Structures are given as structure tokens and as C-alpha cells.
Amino acid sequence: MKEFQLIQQIQQGLSVSAADNLQSGVILGIGDDAAVVEVPAGRHLVAATDTLNAGVHFPVATLPFDIAYKCLAVNLSDMAAMGAIPRWALLSLSLPEAGQQWVMSFIDGFNSLANNHGVVLIGGDTTHGPLSVSLTALGLVKPGMQLVRHGAKPGDLLVVSGTVGGAARVLDLLQQDADSQAGGDLKDRRLLDRPVPRVELGQCLPGYATSCIDISDGLLADLGHVLAASSCGASIVLEKLPGDEILNGLENHLKWNYQLSGGDDYELLFTLPPEHREMLNTWSHRSAVELSIIGQIEEQPGIRCTTLTGERFDPQQAGFEHFQKNDEPHGTR
């Protein structure tokens, strides 16, 4: 398949009508040297880009459907962490070879998530190279209402959505049983392959949350970014950490390691002044996701993880880190 045919196939697979474009503020979509969109008056533009490389961010055998889904999900998760409404996406796709089946499945995966959020693919690039997907998400936010990392204050509640540690556990199970890479148990793989970007939740938080980040590198690592930007510390109560049932039956230290250091969950971690605590129920209901208060922000720098009985726990590994020495290609991130 030639590049031109590939782009045509993508364009057809998206099946965006002129009416869709108009409604989405798309003045000029796929097919020119660049796309043109209308940012409505009274809105700022929010822009994020994230790349997923085969063998690094997803196992090589991952289905194209899931690769597309996940690449969009991690970018929408960035929009969510900013309190933004995602609107448009640009896709850069590097492929070793361009198979029609592969591309169809990829576009299906993209559509399955994009359509839920009214996100329109407006352009991109297809190149020959190692399998890699780079996506830029563009969204909108009211001026001054974006969520940031630097606003956490001592006394704020530390809140996390959904569950943490499940994706890392699935990845470990997959790596322990290489056979299951081809399929695996679908329900479990969803934790790794189909993270749910908390877009609705993110839009609840502006005006209330003092800081927000999405958990891509692990709870402690990402909390660390918030604390560094906000010049404060935090305490976490280990028993309050929400865990998927895939973690059931594990010894506590193993479970806590997954929850504190496992990446790829794409849940939102945010800080909330205690006077807004009663909003959590409303937001949980509105965005159909559990919200757990797992600790609080403190003046003292550093992160203190303790049990309800006051026992201290330090995880083995503080989140995923690219570019460490002896960094070998691994299954995901």
C-alpha cells in the first residue's frame, strides 16, 4: 500500500462528514499541508503530545486496535489532568510496513475512544520506520481554569480516581507468561491496554482542585512532580490506596509496590482543600469513577507512606524512569 492510499484509508475509516467537521470547529481537516481549526472565543488552547514505541510502551504483539486506543487514551488523560475538553488530534504513525488489515484495526481502535469524546482526527503524518505512534491532542479550557501541578497546599486532601497498580500487575503477569502475550485474559489486559482517560472527572475539578496530574509513571513518581512544583510534601495511608481485584491475594508489600510504583494507570491524582470534600461524591457520580482520599499534603518535603497503625513502608522502586543505566527494552510504558 502506498502512503497516499494509506492516508485515504485512514480518512475513509474515520468517516467524518462535513457536518461533523463544522460542528467540531474543523475548517480544514486531513488532506492539506496542515489542518485549520477554530478555537472559540473565550477559550484557551490546551496541547499535549505523547509517543508510544513498540517494545517500550506496549508489547510488540499488542493488537493495532489497542495501540491506537491506548495512544489516544494517554493523550486524553493529559487533557483530563488539565481540566480541558479534548477536541482534535494529530496522528503521526511510523510503520515497518503498511498492511490494510493493520490500519483498519488501528483506526477502529482510534474511533472507539475518539467518538466517545467527540475528538476529531484533523491531520498527521505516516512514515516508514519502527512501529511508533505519536499523537498530539488539542483541547479547550476556560482562561485561567486549567489544572496545574504547582498549586498543592499543606492540608489539602490527596485524592486518586479509580484503582492503581493494576496495569503494572498485568504487565508483570504477561512477562512471566510470554505465551499469554498473544491474547491473555481479556478482562485483565484491559487494565493495561484500555486505560480509561478521566476526561469527565477532569472537567469537574477546575475551581476546586489545587493541583492535578495523571498517573503515567507511577503514583509516587507523579506525586513527586506535584510536590516539587508545589514545594511541599505528602503523607499516604497505605490501606486507603484503591486496588483492582487483580491485586487481591498478594502480600501487602507486593500490592503496595504495584500501587505506589506501577505506571500506566492513567488515573487522576489531585489535591483538594478539605472544605470541598463533599464535592467528591458528586464528581464520582457524574464521572462514574470511584474517588479515594489516600492521604494529605504536608509542609515537610518528601512522601511518607504509612499503615493505619503507623508502620512506615518504602517501596522498592519509585516509578518508571526512561533512560536509566542498563535500560533494556521492556514491555510497556
Query: Footprint of a copy of itself on residues 27-46 (CB under 8 A)?
Result: 27-28, 31-39, 41, 44-46
Describe the crossing of helices 166-176 and 252-261 by its angle, rounded to 10 degrees.
110
Based on the shown chain and the rule CB under 8 A, indicate whether residue 94 belongs to the binding site for a copy of itself: yes
- Region 204-233 residues binding a copy of itself, contact defined as CB under 8 A: 212-214, 229
**Residue 195 to residue 319: CA distance in whole angstroms:** 18
Q: Which stretch binds a copy of itself (CB under 8 A): 153-161, 275-283, 306-314, 315-323?
A: 315-323
64 near a copy of itself (CB under 8 A) = no
Choice from 20, 61, 98, 306 touching a copy of itself (CB under 8 A): 98
For residues 64 and 124, which CB has a smaller minimum distance to a copy of itself in the complex? 124
Burial class of residue 108, CB neighbours in 10 A (0-12, 13-18, 19+): middle
Which grid coordinates are listed for 210?
489545587
C-alpha to C-alpha distance for 135 and 149, rounded to whole angstroms:
22
Of 101, 176, 309, 324, which one interacts with a copy of itself (CB under 8 A)? 324
Q: Residue 95 or residue 160: which is nearer to a copy of itself going by CB?
A: 95
Part in contact with a copy of itself (CB under 8 A); list of ranges 10-18, 81-89, 107-115, 238-246:
81-89
Residue 35 or 167 with smaller CB distance to a copy of itself = 35
- Cα–chain center distance at 278: 26
Q: Is residue 179 part of the contact set for a copy of itself (CB under 8 A)?
A: no
Smallest gap from Cβ 321 to a copy of itself, in A, equals 6
Q: Is 138 or 246 the residue whose CB approaches a copy of itself more closely?
A: 138
Q: Which of residues 101-160 bind a copy of itself (CB under 8 A)?
A: 122-130, 132, 134, 136-139, 141, 143, 146, 148-149
197 counts as binding a copy of itself under rule CB under 8 A: no
| Largest pairwise CA distance in the chain | 64
Residues whose CB falls within 8 Å of the CB of residue 325, separated by 6 or more in sequence, listed in order: none
Site for a copy of itself in 9-28 (CB under 8 A): 27-28
* Cβ-based burial of 151 (10 A; exposed 0-12, middle 13-18, buried ≥19): middle
* Per CB under 8 A, 321 contacts a copy of itself: yes
49 binds a copy of itself (CB under 8 A): yes
Give me the amino acid identity at 298.
E
The single residue listed with the C-alpha cell 482526527 is 121
Q: Of 44, 110, 104, whose CA–CA distance to 75 is shortest?
A: 110
CB of 266 to a copy of itself, least distance (A): 11
The string of DSSP letters for 50-118 reads EEEEBTTTB-TT--HHHHHHHHHHHHHHHHHHTT-EEEEEEEEEEESS--HHHHHHHHHHHHHHHHHHT
Tell me if 299 contacts a copy of itself by CB under 8 A.
no
User: Shortest approach of a copy of itself to residue 226 CB, angstroms?
Assistant: 10
Q: Work out which of 10, 14, 73, 84 binds a copy of itself, going by CB under 8 A.
A: 84
Number of residues that bind a copy of itself (CB under 8 A): 74
Q: Is 162 left (phi over 0), alpha (psi -120 to 50) or beta?
A: left
